[in-house]
Amino acid sequence: MAFLMGVVADHVYSHVMSRSIGEQLRQLLVIDEAYYLLNSPLAELMVRGLRKFGLGTIFITQTLGGISSDVLQNIPLIIVLGGNDAT
């Protein structure tokens, strides 16, 4: 699973980097189960470089273990805690 997610993320990264730099957000990439990808060097490249090419990225994960400190320092981090549904 980690390999496949890395291949897809690499393809998206390569495509976006081939575009010209822009000021507007044009696309949004949402990656669920992001712990498969967040410990790879590709994640650092994504959080550092894609915004200026018009691609916003949302990583969804249930754990922060194993994530590179460089990635955590370069993303706006929002923690959403889930719980039981209200009854």
Q: What is the pLDDT of residues 21-56, one digit of tens each?
A: 776 777 888 888 888 888 888 888 887 777 778 888
Biggest CA–CA distance in the chain, Å, is: 50
Q: Which of 36, 47, 53 is nearest to 69 (CA)?
A: 47
The burial class, CB within 10 Å (0-12 / 13-18 / 19+), for 4 is exposed
Extents of the domains making up the chain: 2-74
Distances (CA, A) of 62 to 19, 41, 76: 32, 20, 17
What per-residue confidence (pLDDT) applies to 12?
A: 84
Q: What is the pTM of this model?
A: 0.68
